[in-house]
Amino acid sequence: MLIPFYSFTAQHDPLRADVLAALAEVYDTHWYVLGEQVRAFETEYSAFNGVGHTVGVGNGLEALTLALRGLSIGPGDEVLVPSNTYIATWLAVSHVGATPVPVEPDLATSNLDPARLAAALTSRTRVVLPVHLYGQPCRMLEILAFAGQHGLFVVEDNAQAQGATFAGQLTGSFGHASATSFYPTKNLGALGDAGAITTDDADLARRLQQLRNYGSTQKNHHELLGYNSRLDELQAAVLRVKLPYLTAWLSQRRQLAAWYNEYLADVPGLRLPAVAAGAEPAWHLYVVHTSHRNALQRRLAAAGIGTQVHYPVPPHLQPAYAYLDLAAGALPIAEDLAATCLSLPLWPGMTEAMVATVARVVRSFAAEVSGLR
Ligand SMILES: *Cc1c(COP(=O)(O)O)cnc(C)c1O
């Protein structure tokens, strides 16, 4: 049985007619940028998240960048970021001229460890930027308490966690602002690049509407040094067709994760994803850890099973961040996670039999490896 790392088939095939009709409708309106589709999607996405405002933008990186700009974060400011995130989180901080200050994650959950925030705090710290990595919610109550104590903003990176909850509340609704991505393979994906910022702050929402559109919400009047980062009408129309299915796709993801937990229980040398108390993940990815990661990945590939590594090199070891002078060994937890993590296939439409097949290959690999020790 061939099992791809990801497949759109079960999500997109049944929606083909509806999506093409939505695209045709936009085609025929002759209105392609910042129109009725974007406005309607913003209202619908706000309702889904239980927030006051959504501002649709070009992609997830720009959602993060504009959220920071909207809060007037800039040169001289420090932003606390996880050491083991996708590089976009750090790039957004760099793009506004601020400094990313890495904080090591909890080894078990791969998420920002609230207990480590205090040691990273300086007089320049302005923002905590938790990332709900792999769709696992961060321990938001402790993070909010820390931020409140020290007068910091909280900006969530919710790109992987649409629909996850912590203490019964949706991620993307805790922070002063929250950025998300609708990159095609995210839990809610467009047919190209798209992103959004959610917030309960009406003034911030207004600034973000200006920032995404040349600093302007009124033609030929430019209040801010803005960008061009607009969610376009075609992508908004597609997202409006897909959003009503997100809850059903999330339950499928949760069922698949539960099957993995069951079929992979007690495999020697394999660490399964840990979920923080009070967290209900969105299971964007199902990530296991083993010191034999590369060999396991090759073995699964030989059996026709696709996997990926999220992410093999942490941001501080990328050439782009060489100037920070954080050499190998500087952030040992991030480096350990990068060397041992492996993402198994998980997508709506995947079956229990497929999970069982993946687990069978993993188990027989583990048996051989312990035999070799
Ligand atoms: C995908 C992703 C982003 C960036 O989103 P794009 O739309 O690809 O720019 C940012 N942060 C995280 C954690 C992501 O997974």
- Measured from the Cα of 186, ligand 1's closest atom is 1
Question: Candidates 157, 231, 283: which one to mutate for ligand 1, based on the most atoms within 8 Å of Cβ?
Answer: 157
Ligand 1 contact, 112 CB (< 6 A): no
Cβ contact 256:233 at 8 Å: no
For ligand 1, atom 7, the nearest C-alpha belongs to: 60
Cβ contact 243:41 at 8 Å: yes
- 213 and 253 assigned to the same domain: no
**pLDDT means per 10 residues in the chain (373 residues)?**
96 98 98 98 97 98 98 98 98 98 97 97 98 98 98 98 97 97 98 98 98 95 96 98 98 98 96 97 98 97 98 98 95 98 98 98 92 56
- H or E element: which one contains 109? none
Ligand 1 contact, 160 CB (< 6 A): yes
CATH of the domain at 92: 3.40.640.10
- 209 and 291 assigned to the same domain: no
Domain limits for position 324: 245-372
Q: Is 307 helix (H, G, I), strand (E, B) or coil?
A: coil
**177-181 vs 195-199, strand pairing mode:** antiparallel
Cβ contact 151:122 at 8 Å: no
What are 232's strand-pairing partners?
Answer: 33
- 235 and 251 assigned to the same domain: no
What pTM was estimated for this model as a whole? 0.97
330 CA distance to ligand 1 middle (Å): 24
What is d(CA 275, CA 126) in angstroms, rounded to the nearest whole number?
28
Q: Is 173 helix (H, G, I), strand (E, B) or coil?
A: coil
The DSSP 8-state label assigned to residue 188 in this structure reads: S
- 237 and 258 assigned to the same domain: no
For ligand 1, atom 2, the nearest C-alpha belongs to: 159
At residue 259, the pLDDT reads: 98
Ligand 1 contact, 90 CB (< 6 A): no
Asked, for residue 152, whether it belongs to a domain, the answer is yes
- Measured from the Cα of 85, ligand 1's closest atom is 13
Ligand 1 contact, 159 CB (< 6 A): yes
Ligand 1 contact, 110 CB (< 6 A): no
**Which residues, 6 or more positions from 13, have their beta carbon under 8 angstroms from its beta carbon?**
none
CATH of the domain at 327: 3.90.1150.10
What is d(CA 93, CA 75) in angstroms, rounded to the nearest whole number?
10
